[in-house]
Amino acid sequence: MINNKPSYTGDIAAQEIDPTKEYSTENQEIVFSEEQNSIWADLFAGVHQPYLLEHICNEWKTGMELLQLNPKFIPTVAHLNNNITTRTGWKIERTVVRYTLADDWYKKFAQRVFLITDYLRTRDQMEFTPEPDMFHDIFGHLPFLTQEFYARIEDKFAPAYMKATQEEREVIKRLAWYSTEFGLFVQDNRIKVFGAGIISGRKELTRTIIEFYRLGCDNVIDYTRPIYAQLYEQFLKNKNDLHRIIDGVNELHQGGQMSSADEGWNVVLSLYKKLNIKQEGMFGGDVIIAPFDVETIARIPKTVYAFNPMLFVCESLEKMDELLDSYLKPIALRA
């Protein structure tokens, strides 16, 4: 019997790009269709709601004011550079490359060039897109890139990546994933969203916010007291089970059993039962939220990228900076 069920192991296929189709310095601008601008406007409005914005960190809101995005129209590359390069020295370039292997992106990062794709999600992917599109790149990342603190964070990755072993490169990609893409940190004694992947996807953002409330509702965290210490206490108490889940998810991915987000969550629920881990407390929601721990993040397989059963929160942005340095700086300083 032939099994036609899609299999996903998490490996990212190399994308064959015709060099003649790539954008040059001279042809960075695109004329977008009325439908594309309409999709942009609806995506923008979908996230730009007070009940969602209150959970996004202040730095993103500051960046949005500096970037001056038009809610109705996709910005030009010239507009983006006018509001970014003069402030942080980073430059924006357009690329035909979509979600592919990381090496080419890190080479650009080393030149302080942030790539934005020419791909925009379709109407049937408004709530969630499985690969980063231009809305993710621009709306999620670029408000931050108007500010020096974010430029310094982005400056950390490429120097380390270029000198890292292959095994270390996988850890570097995970650290980037769980900081700039799907990171959280504590601000004003609340967990705030920092990662562009959460900010730019209403489904991801809503799912994450629901977990913030669940932690309080289920008495995992008392928001009237300092929350990070409580979260860290929960982490230490449940660290062994958290690592068991990570290892189990890795095994499932390698077997191609997580071919979609919906299927992935059903498989994780089955894994909880197999491991005899009760779905309560820290493990009681759709997302596990744990402190940003380099050892734990390094343990996560690259295959988890298709489905995020866990997110990591830093005590502060300053602490995120310190933790990233602890792994990246020694590698970057190698001869």
pLDDT level of residue 55 (50, 70, 90 thresholds): very high
Query: What are the residue ranges spanned by the domains of the chain?
Result: 18-335
Query: Please, what's the b/e burial string for 191-206 (b: 16 or more CB within 10 A of its CB; e: otherwise)?
Result: bbbbbbbbbbbbebbb
- Predicted confidence at residue 215, as pLDDT, reads 97
Q: What is the mean pLDDT of residues 191-219?
A: 95
Q: Give residue 2's pLDDT.
A: 39
In this structure, of 60-64, 150-154, 212-216, 267-271, the range with the lowest mean pLDDT score is 267-271
pTM, rounded to two decimals: 0.92
Q: Which one-letter DSSP state was computed for residue 27?
A: T
| Sign of the C-alpha dihedral computed for residues 123, 302, 293 and 219 taken in this order | positive
More confident of the two residues 101 and 120: 120
Confidence check: pLDDT of 137 > 90? yes
Instruction: With beta carbons less than 8 A apart as the criterion, state whether 80 and 141 touch.
Output: no
Superfamily (CATH) of domain 18-335: Aromatic amino acid hydroxylase (1.10.800.10)
| pLDDT for 9 beyond 80 | no
Mean pLDDT value across residues 116-122:
92
Q: How far apart are CA 127 and CA 254, in angstroms?
A: 27
- Which candidate, 198, 220, 222, 207, places its Cα nearest to that of 279? 220
What's the DSSP call for residue 182? T
Nearest to 14 by CA among 100, 124, 110, 116: 100
* Non-local CB neighbours of 328 within 8 Å, separated by 6+ positions: 156, 157, 159, 160, 172, 175
Using one digit for the tens of pLDDT, what is the confidence trace for 270-293? 888 899 999 999 999 888 999 999
pLDDT per residue over 75-96, tens digit each? 999 999 999 999 999 999 998 8
Average pLDDT over every residue of 221-244: 96
Count of C-beta atoms within a 10 Å radius of residue 240: 9
| Half-sphere exposure (Cβ direction) of 211: Cα atoms closer than 13 Å | 27
Cα separation, 319 vs 316, whole angstroms: 5
CA 54 vs CA 159, 187, 214, 220, 281: distances in Å:
34, 11, 17, 21, 25
Our measurement of the distance from residue 227's CA atom to the centroid of its chain's CA atoms, rounded to an integer in Å, reads 23
What tokens appear for 200 in the block? 């730019």
- Condensed to tens digits (0 to 9), the pLDDT of residues 139-160 reads 999 999 999 999 999 999 999 9
pLDDT 10s digits, 33-52:
999 999 999 999 999 999 99
pLDDT computed for residue 3 by the predictor? 40
Q: Which residue has the higher pLDDT, 131 or 183?
A: 183
Q: What percent of the chain has pLDDT over 70?
A: 89
Cα gap 259→162, rounded to integer Å: 31
Whether pLDDT at 219 is above 50: yes
pLDDT range class, residue 4, cuts 50, 70, 90: very low
Element (H, E) at 53: helix 50-53
The number of angstroms, rounded, from the C-alpha of 219 to the middle of its chain's C-alpha atoms is 27
